[in-house]
Amino acid sequence: MFQRPPSFFEIWRAHTRIREYLAPTPLRKSLALSEQFGAAVFLKLENWQPTGSFKVRGAFNLLTQLTPAEIARGLVAASAGNHGAAVGYAAQQLQISNVHIFVPGATPHAKIQKMERFGVHVHAAGETYDDAHHAAVEYERARDATFVHAYDDVRTVAGAGTMALEILNVTQDLDALLVPVGGGGMIAGIAVAVKHVAPDLRVIGIQPDASPSLRDSLRDNVCYEEYTAAPTICDGLAGGIGQIVFQVAQQKLLDDVLIVSERAVHQAVAAFARDEQMVVEGSGAVGLAALLENPAMFRGKRVALVVSGANVDAGRLAEILGI
């Protein structure tokens, strides 16, 4: 089914709709990172969301617009973990039951536990996000369930875009905003909002070199909705992109895409723990990884990093920290 990007008005409406359920997250200047990089570095702390991830924005915006008939059919989604927890939490708060989430077999245990805590039924399917997505689509067709897309639904994207309104409400005096990119729903919503309010603010997508699906889609002028990713700590960013972010990119609302190494992501996760006393998952740390690998690009600039999630297994974190 064809999907379109949200309008700025739809993002503003999403902002008014979800603030009943979600408080704004802080935009905090990092003294340590600012000193290290010779820049003013700000952190948009989406890892402080109730589910530990930005995904809860899109989930609330979508679920609050469902009809009683759509709710009655039950909900189904595919997720690498964070979207599933977000749908589960939003459903719990809205008193919606019968939620089924399909996840790849290698989904971190911490993310599965969080989903189950919110009362969803978790089903492991295959090894990749694409495998889980296919299984969820089959479930949707077999049960006539209501599909809740993680990144390629205008309602999900509009919800994610509300983050940009919060950032711009604090400051519009930024040079660049670094945004993690998996399926691309977050950066699509952010780009629409930012370019409407502050068109000179550079919106830069960050992907791990294990899964540069947006970069390759733009290079080849083909929307790679499925993409074979190499093993990566950035499980939430592995796989293809959605139609919506591809359209947003073609509209020239994205300024750049940077690719970061696994080594830099590991270093960024450790730096967040060491210097900020903050737990950040690999997918949420790619903005800092981009600073580590491109310091000259941002020296003297005012830069905000979207810290998109905190959901990392304790064992993986201990391994990265060498403890």
- Residues with catalytic annotation? 55, 308
Q: How many CA atoms lie within 13 A of 278 on its CB side?
A: 26
Task: Compute the distance between CA of residue 72 and CA of residue 51 in angstroms, rounded to an integer.
Answer: 24
Task: Compute the distance between CA of residue 63 and CA of residue 95 in angstroms, rounded to an integer.
Answer: 11
| Number of Cβ atoms within 10 Å of the Cβ of 255 | 16
Task: Return the structure tokens found at 65.
Answer: 């617009």
Q: Is the dihedral of CA 242, 70, 21, 280 positive or negative?
A: negative
Q: In the β-sheet with 302-307, what is the strand arrangement from edge to edge?
A: 27-29, 40-45, 302-307, 176-180, 202-208, 256-260
Residues 265 and 284: beta-carbon distance below 8 Å: no
Task: Return the structure tokens found at 290.
Answer: 């981009």
Task: Compute the distance between CA of residue 264 and CA of residue 286 in angstroms, rounded to an integer.
Answer: 8
- Enumerate the β-bridge partners of residue 103: 124
Residues 181 and 241: beta-carbon distance below 8 Å: yes
